[in-house]
Amino acid sequence: MTRSVPPEVVTFGETMAALRAHGALRLGGSLGLSVAGAESNVAIGLARLGHRVRWAGRVGADELGALVLRTLRAEGVDTTHAVTDDAGRPTGLLMTEPRLGTLTRVSYYRTGSAGSAVAPADVLPALADGPRILHLTGITPALSPTAADAALTAAATAHEAGITVCLDINHRSRLWTADRARTALRPMLAHIDLLIASEDELPLVLARPGVDEPEAVRGVLAEGVGEVVVKRGARGATAFTADGATDRAARQVDAVDLVGAGDAFVAGYLSGLLDGADVPARLHRAVTTSAFAVATRGDWEGLPARDELDLFDQPDGTTIR
């Protein structure tokens, strides 16, 4: 990527090496090696759709860190602001194992990792040339106090500079409790323009969590967030603005692997936003990219290129020659 051309989107977080099992880990067998991270999944999805994307973060000075950076660069993601840790912290690791149908169990090995040590000084330079969107997730603040500071500082800096700030709550209960998540995410809300959440995640940004969805959405919009998108899995998604709600059904597809579907949805939605599409068109692209993700194995490997977005509109059995 040409460094003189500013990115459209900047994102940061922890990208780990990913070991994927074909069966129960306790039974042994072969493991496939790749990389995974919510923010980098979105970055790859956007890059494949033709957008200029920058990923910032920290990796270990090890072979797995080299794999992360090599993979992102190969996918067209700008890594010029990625930091290789010089304090001996390793690149994080996750392992996935299929357990029942599309149910997948994920085990994390990220305590004390290079990615968890990300700090404001690592990410603010990545915003200096004025991207259109800063994309964040609720995973990064869960990693460490410095990572939480980086997320809040980046959101405030971007918002003040007129950059659209997107937050995908993306709660990971194995990283922190709902109460800890609420404490960290609530202060970020003042700087968020676009909030994306699953149905059970909206309470994590509310002062009073015990309310129904309509009241929760009204509360978030009243705090200055311009748009709230609720992901409903196989039932599609709903986008809420001050003008009302827009629903979109999910694409019908045989699900193979649900991991990464939410990140694919975000990539599609942000792509539509960058293209100037209206809310229904953004939702259409989001459920389409999500369908590609669930129809293939891996967090990001099956994400579509722009010229593949209409493949779902082809008749069954079509061969493209």
For the cut 50, the answer to whether the pLDDT of residue 7 exceeds it is yes
Dihedral angle, C-alpha 178, 184, 185, 187, nearest 10 °: 140
**Region 27-45: what's the mean pLDDT?**
94
DSSP state of 78: B
Instruction: State how far the Cα of 288 lies from the Cα of 234, in Å rounded to an integer.
Output: 12
Indicate whether 1 pLDDT > 50.
Answer: no
pLDDT of 263 > 70? The answer is yes
Q: How confident is the model at residue 214 (pLDDT cuts 50, 70, 90)?
A: very high
d(C-alpha 59, C-alpha 56), whole Å: 10
Instruction: Report the pLDDT averaged over residues 274-285.
Output: 98
Radius of gyration (C-alpha) of the chain in whole angstroms = 19
- 288-299 pLDDT, tens digit per residue, is 999 999 888 888
> Are 191 and 155 a contacting pair, CB within 8 Å?
yes
pLDDT of 3 > 80? The answer is no
Q: Helices (DSSP H) in the chain: which residue ranges?
A: 38-48, 63-74, 120-123, 145-160, 178-185, 213-222, 261-274, 279-294
pLDDT of residue 209: 81
pLDDT at 241 over 90: yes
Q: Averaged over 30-43, what is the pLDDT?
A: 96
Instruction: Please tell me the predicted confidence (pLDDT) of residue 23.
Output: 85
Contact (Cβ atoms closer than 8 angstroms) between residue 57 and residue 83: yes
What is the pLDDT confidence band of residue 194, given thresholds at 50, 70 and 90?
Answer: very high
What pLDDT was estimated at residue 312? 81
Active-site residue, from 263, 275, 278, 316: 263
Q: What is the mean pLDDT of residues 164-169?
A: 98
Which pLDDT score is estimated for 67?
Answer: 98
299 belongs to the catalytic site? no
Share of the chain above pLDDT 90, in %: 79
The residue that leads in pLDDT, 275 or 207, is 275
Mind listing the domains of the chain with CATH numbers? 14-302 (3.40.1190.20)
The mean pLDDT value of the chain amounts to: 93
